[in-house]
Structure 1
């Protein structure tokens, strides 16, 4: 089948009906003038191999949610260095010969979301949660100069990989039990915890100075985002507004959603996450508009 005929894509997960990925991807492909279809499919780790193995040659690629980002690894024929670094692939691309390549665009999404908020340098960060998303977060903020990350973990023993990752990146990662205390004055607080879960409270001093990046976006604003707003913070991402003198900036998980998707679309279009899309600013604008109720 010709390159042009490989026009089918989808996001996989379970549950997946709530996903906003189809809306933003379709908006992007309309701007790019590509007659591609992008849907969603309820797929579990147990059914992933069968699903991937039964796609025909009309398929171009897939987006993956957790835990499929890890479950996909044994099925890949090749993968980029970021996949090996953080142990997760959120994007797969079928090559013309049918081989499957894995990529990670979450790391780029984290870095880009901070930069879009005007945050180009960080030193100390507090990270809430120690799952796969935390690994991408640490790799992303390492690109912004972070040298220390304190990770609050419900199960510290499961966070050992983050310490190893930190050594590779030149970041000192300290894992702290959930009931413990984070120390120091962070440049950013990053929550990788699903929306609705209880989280620790932060002092007004931290809420007035540190950038908050909450990867959750449903519901939004989250309780954590509200606490930053109460201290005078502002939405730094989709609105394009920076922080204020009275409070740290707040970055929504919607910004991460869009930015990691931009990386995915670059892969689907160019087979390379580093090559920008034609008129990428217009593409991103359409993606953000697709998120507007």
Structure 2
């Protein structure tokens, strides 16, 4: 019998990740012989880690701060990963390692699932790699005006450039967080809960929908305020599950069992 395939999520920090819970639930639901772990890999060490992996290793979920490193070491790069400027997925192929980005279609699927409306504008709090991926997802959904608000707008240059490269040509504005003014539409938070001050939360609402990309600190101040005001919320767990389902298919060749993976994630999150 062939050795079970191996997969993992890599990043730093990574111990908090629910990805092992989701992927293991998928393996169990489909009866696939595979393992999935969380491995701490500091910045600058991804290439060395990948070089040491044996043939049983099939795929890696890549989180901060390694998404650009994943792109650089890959033998093949998908169009969406190149557009986003970072990869959250590495898959072993006959040619070596293929880099992909499932955050973009995962974010679009998560938003579609929870919000049937047709917003035309969005404000993204934060300007890092996740902001770029979600911004591209918003453009995929037809949102034509996107504001990126960052503590230091200069640090959002890569994310802004990535969103502007989208074929739909969205109008992208960059502002300091202090200038957020409750423009409505979709409000996306990619910043930590600790950065969601009462003043910023008040200036970020009202909104048609709030998309909070974290799941480790729940509910965040923004989510609490949105829920109190009757604003629908898309959670970081929604994003994690949808992008993981896409990764699962790339790693195993089988469609990811959405319900089983979501249920496992909800149970694990509730237990924290």
Paired residues of 1:163 and 1:172 also in contact (CA < 8 A): no
Q: Does 1:201 align with 2:201?
A: yes
Q: Does 1:252 align with 2:235?
A: yes
Normalising by structure 1, what TM-score?
Answer: 0.84
| Structure 1, unaligned runs of 5 or more | 232-246, 271-275
1:92 aligned residue: 90
**Residue pairs, 1:20-59, within 5 angstroms:** 20-59=18-57
| Structure 2, unaligned runs of 5 or more | none
Match of 1:168 among 154, 165, 174: 165
1:188 shift after superposition: 1.1
Match of 1:277 among 247, 252, 255: 255
Normalising by structure 2, what TM-score?
Answer: 0.90
Q: Does 1:134 align with 2:131?
A: yes
For 2:203 and 2:180, the matched residues in 1 are separated by 12
1:286 shift after superposition: 4.9
1:158 shift after superposition: 2.3
> CA, structure 1 residues 263+227, in 2 after alignment: closer, same or farther (shift >3 Å)?
same
> CA, structure 1 residues 31+287, in 2 after alignment: closer, same or farther (shift >3 Å)?
farther
CA deviation digits over 1:231-283, x for unaligned, max 9?
1xxxxxxxxxxxxxxx220111111111111111011122xxxxx71765455
> CA, structure 1 residues 166+40, in 2 after alignment: closer, same or farther (shift >3 Å)?
closer
For 1:249 and 1:121, the matched residues in 2 are separated by 14
For 1:14 and 1:166, the matched residues in 2 are separated by 26
> CA, structure 1 residues 48+118, in 2 after alignment: closer, same or farther (shift >3 Å)?
same
1:288 shift after superposition: 4.3
1:9 aligned residue: 7
| Count of residue pairs brought into register by the alignment | 267
1:198 shift after superposition: 3.0
1:141 shift after superposition: 0.8
